[in-house]
Amino acid sequence: MAGRLSGKRAIVFGAGSSGPGYGNGKAAAMEYAREGAQVACIDLVLDAANETHQLIAQEGFASIAIAADVTRQASVEQAVRQAVDAFGGIDILHNNVGVTHMGGPVELSEESFQASVDLNIGSVYRTAKAVLPIMEKQKDGAIINISSLAAIRWTGYPYFAYYAMKAAVNQSTVAIAMQYARRGIRANCIMPGMIDTPLIYKQISGQYASAEDMVAARSRSVPVGRMGDAFDIARAAVFLASDEARFITGVCLPVDGGQSCAMGAFS
């Protein structure tokens, strides 16, 4: 069904991709635009944001590209102002920024742990701080935070900080949803499982003998027998952002091919 977000204005933090192909944020920005939303594509790297913007424009949809650092409140607020100036308001806030730092509490440096806090949960705090007053004034809005299956399950990787921060993303989403439930604002998060995006080749592949081994191992761990892709996450985000989900708030939705339901490893 096309046009589910007609007239909506979306702001996507982390709309660029870390390599060729589609990451979760890039795919979400594309799907929001295809469903009729005006989209502000925001990324730390302006070229990455602009690439997504250009792809949207090539399909005849409305978007802008903005550079912002989600670890700095002033940068986030400036990006939000640019989006409001361009579109007149914000109906959808999509948070896709995240990073993995390998290591348990012993191996992980304090610097890397703090970086995980600043980026993975700090981005949710800063963007909500900037956007919630706008949505509250409109008496309407939908927030989609991208969490991870790691928020609720051991996924096989030794990344202590990532587990902790994604669990925080889940509960912060619930907190926002409950605080703002009577103000016309919904908040939900998506927990991707094993998703084939450019990011895993940069941040995860070092745990395996080769990229091919990584893809095979990750696919084996999923009950349906394969990894998902960024558009599986994007389509879930479109649903949660749309009026079809108007009675859904505070939900942490696994999009994982059944992995969160599995008791043991699949092969």
Question: Which amino acid is located at 101 in the chain?
Answer: H
Task: Residue 102: give its domain's CATH number.
Answer: 3.40.50.720
Q: Does a structural domain hold residue 3?
A: no
φ and ψ at 60, to 5 degrees?
85, 20
Q: Indicate if the pLDDT at residue 226 is higher than 70.
A: yes
Q: Does a structural domain hold residue 124?
A: yes
Q: How many other C-beta atoms are found inside a 10 Å radius of the C-beta of residue 267?
A: 7
Q: Does a structural domain hold residue 81?
A: yes
State the DSSP H helix or E strand holding residue 255, giving kind and residue range, or none if neither.
strand 252-255
Amino acid 214: pLDDT: 84
φ and ψ at 234, to 5 degrees?
-60, -40
Contacts of 177 (CB under 8 A, 6+ apart): 186, 187, 188, 249, 250
Kindly name the residue from 32, 162, 163, 180 that is annotated as catalytic: 162
**How many whole angstroms separate alpha carbon 23 and alpha carbon 31?**
12
Amino acid 157: pLDDT: 87
The 10s digit of each residue's pLDDT in 141-194 is 999 999 999 999 998 889 999 999 999 999 999 999 999 999 999 999 999 999
Find the domain containing 190 and state its range: 9-196+229-256
User: Catalytic annotation on 208?
Assistant: no
Q: Does a structural domain hold residue 202?
A: no
Amino acid 198: pLDDT: 81
Q: Does a structural domain hold residue 245?
A: yes
CA 24 to chain centre: 6
The 10s digit of each residue's pLDDT in 108-143 is 999 999 999 999 999 999 999 999 999 999 999 999
Q: How many other C-beta atoms are found inside a 10 Å radius of the C-beta of residue 239?
A: 18
Contacts of 106 (CB under 8 A, 6+ apart): none
Report the percentage of the chain scoring pLDDT > 90: 83
Domain count, the chain: 1
Task: Report the predicted TM-score, pTM, of the whole model to 2 decimal places.
Answer: 0.93
Average pLDDT, the chain: 94
Q: Does a structural domain hold residue 267?
A: no
Q: Does a structural domain hold residue 207?
A: no
- pLDDT bracket for residue 263 (50, 70, 90): low
